[in-house]
Structure 1
């Protein structure tokens, strides 16, 4: 064999590593287990699972479990599930569900407009530059943020699920997203081409209008036409007719849902060096409804996020939250708990433990990937949470009768965002939220969409 440079893996090194691996009984047991059942099943700690037995001191009743199916609409489902709780409680309903296809239609339309405006804004940037390539990567994905949902319902209102039910393309958005993305990338190509030929911004904006008409046509084909008016008949648990009549989406939101969404503040916890606590943050070019601008967060320590969430739950109100859902997750049992999977012990060195919370954000290991609803908490003798009850949007057969649980330690590690009423924030925190925000790069981990 020819001489190998010092940067290569040599046969001698590989043989020595293999010999060392084979000498360790634990390695051989781990190899047999993992190769047979997989990493997480082999690393499952039954005592850790047992410590997360059910039972909650604070609990907010919700309706029947919802199912986003094969779509990335968790942020919409979580948002609508927080809104519907107000309707269920006020009208004494057994269950109730708002249409998820309705905001999906308008989110895709608004995201398309947002994307085309960004294309027009960056026609002078190189096509192969990081910014333009980032914009082209996923122009109308299913994910979103709380602020984006608030913008949608303030502009378009809400409707009951019966008024705009699911379609094949809302239950599984892959094909719709694929062809809409392809069309929009073609639009970007044409807009940049016209700009290179000397078209003015006003001319490009007019071309964009024609393109958006095509986008809306595609969405109507896939999702159906959103209702302008609809009839409602709601009966309470005693079969009394408690809501009836004809509504517009705006009327239904104002008269039936009755939630002042302007009061709901998005609080995050990112302890990286570039994100000071008690400061307002935004993410460049992240949003959907053009006239509302970019998202805004208040960055707070993780313990403060837990205090705010528990305060709102104690008052009988669910809490929208965002997390990195797949970390330390025993999915079949609906349990997110760092103590339930012994990954580092299985491999014999630090794998999960090789990065702390801030390092995971900085090095691309973690970000907010999923939004759900906190609907309960178990407390210790000092009134501190030890276990949280979570309403997911993966159907009634998922997890523990359709809901998940997360341990408080998992909350410390992988929860990044809660949305709470401004009444729970201090005057100083509200002032910080309303101050001029620090603008983060579009690809910052806080720009990830649930």
Structure 2
């Protein structure tokens, strides 16, 4: 058999010496090399003239409720839980006349990790006949109970467990704010269980084996976090002080708190993405991605970027904040609170990138990594097009300007992938796709970039 012809030769040291000599005679290259060998590239190439354009942080459309305090996920990948609860807390702040408020992120975090562990065990059972070396099984084993998630996973949790105030179950456990060691121990235990399940011979007794594993996992969980003090349908009492310093007490359950106070109608939110690899107007699903067995699958409607941005504008004008996912921290300046492609002068050092958004996804250079909240937008009055957005992050008040960022529309187009809107906000022909049984979804594998979990 003839070996494949080589398309290029190996590295030639003479070429390297020749090129190095050429570059040392290039004054622009010498200057750039001097700067980058002495300073961090992001600091050295920061376009401070561009930053001046963002000093005026005014927006002509914004949500009316003050969303303090700035939240902080700390050393955990809970951004999706923070973004989703930060969105809902605006309803509670307004309805109860509060100065500030937080929904318990730890409550959802505890149950999410427990549910993900159980979901993983079920996936291992389903794929027992697959080769251990198959891409699917290896991907399942890679990170079985990571912190990240998608909005549909958030809905799965709230439907089953509801919501409670942070006053009742806060971030008092070290592992809820710094989860790496807990994750490492869980991952090894789940891989240990995966081997047991794949080698288990009796299908009849596997349910008992799974229950035994759930019991052992719960024991591990409660070493790191306490079981939340109230069950989903159990009544709790919560006393709070409103803006006028008047004391109130309400009695409710977590499930009722989500519906009556956070005003979550879980039939309305839908996830919309911009994935230029696929036809717009199509439903996209991610195979085997989830957290709660029997819960909603990760399901998107693929739309062009212009439609997504218009839906954001419409939602802000209706006094509703927007959950969105982006490739963070790409082109993000934490000190100045800017998300902007033009804020770094890479052209000055001869560094050019040519790939489109579609190509970046295909070649593994871009995907959704973080979820945040859009709370304001500035629209050009002559063109009626958005120019910039105000973004509420969950990295504490020392990140950005007191926790908030300005995101340019160019950034939104190039590095944002997902927004969540209400289904009744969509044109009828798009809304009906979510419930049309004849609509054949594009099914993407678990490892596809659109299946990335926001952290």
- Which TM-score band applies after superposition, normalised by the shorter structure? over 0.9
The 8 Å contact of residues 52 and 407 in structure 1, kept in 2 or not, is answered as no
Instruction: Report which stretch shifted further, 382-391 or 136-145.
Output: 382-391
The 8 Å contact of residues 338 and 409 in structure 1, kept in 2 or not, is answered as yes
The 8 Å contact of residues 279 and 433 in structure 1, kept in 2 or not, is answered as no
1:107 positional shift: 0.4
- Residue 442 of structure 2 aligns with which residue? 438
SS, match of residue 330 in structure 2: coil
- Residue 387 of structure 1 aligns with which residue? 388
- Residue 332 of structure 1 aligns with which residue? 335
- Residue 4 of structure 2 aligns with which residue? none
Distance, in Å, in 1 between the alignment partners of 2:341 and 2:8 is 39
1:72 equivalenced with 2:73 (yes/no): no
The 8 Å contact of residues 63 and 88 in structure 1, kept in 2 or not, is answered as no
SS, match of residue 228 in structure 2: coil
Uncovered stretches (5+) of structure 2, i.e. residues with no partner: 1-6
Counterpart mapping for 1:287-302 below 5 A: 287-302=290-305
1:248 positional shift: 2.2
How big is each residue's C-alpha offset from its partner over 1:316-353, in whole Å with a ceiling of 9 and x where there is no partner?
A: 1110000001211222212110110122x133141xx2
Distance, in Å, in 1 between the alignment partners of 2:450 and 2:328 is 15
Counterpart mapping for 1:31-42 below 5 A: 31-42=33-44
Uncovered stretches (5+) of structure 1, i.e. residues with no partner: none
SS, match of residue 316 in structure 1: coil
1:436 positional shift: 3.6
Distance, in Å, in 2 between the alignment partners of 1:92 and 1:216 is 38
The 8 Å contact of residues 282 and 302 in structure 2, kept in 1 or not, is answered as yes
The 8 Å contact of residues 95 and 261 in structure 2, kept in 1 or not, is answered as no
Counterpart mapping for 1:101-120 below 5 A: 101-120=106-125
Task: Judging by fraction of residues, say which structure has more helix.
Answer: 1
Instruction: Report which stretch shifted further, 230-239 or 279-288.
Output: 230-239
Counterpart mapping for 1:29-428 below 5 A: 29-53=31-55, 54-60=57-63, 61=65, 62-166=67-171, 167-194=173-200, 198-200=201-203, 202-228=204-230, 229-241=235-247, 243-272=248-277, 275-343=278-346, 345-350=347-352, 353-382=353-382, 383-428=384-429
Instruction: Report which stretch shifted further, 220-229 or 369-378.
Output: 220-229
SS, match of residue 381 in structure 1: coil
SS, match of residue 44 in structure 1: coil
Q: May I ask how many residue pairs the two structures share in their alignment?
A: 436
Distance, in Å, in 1 between the alignment partners of 2:398 and 2:41 is 24
1:404 positional shift: 1.1
How big is each residue's C-alpha offset from its partner over 1:377-433, in whole Å with a ceiling of 9 and x where there is no partner?
A: 112223321111000000112111111111011111000000011121011111223
Distance, in Å, in 2 between the alignment partners of 1:205 and 1:139 is 20
The 8 Å contact of residues 152 and 296 in structure 2, kept in 1 or not, is answered as no
Give TM-score scaled by structure 1 length: 0.94
Residues 199 and 301 from structure 1, CA distance in 2 versus in 1: closer, same or farther, beyond 3 angstroms?
same
SS, match of residue 312 in structure 1: helix
SS, match of residue 391 in structure 2: strand
Distance, in Å, in 1 between the alignment partners of 2:28 and 2:267 is 56
1:254 positional shift: 2.5
1:354 positional shift: 2.6
1:293 positional shift: 4.3
1:72 positional shift: 0.3
Distance, in Å, in 2 between the alignment partners of 1:387 and 1:245 is 40
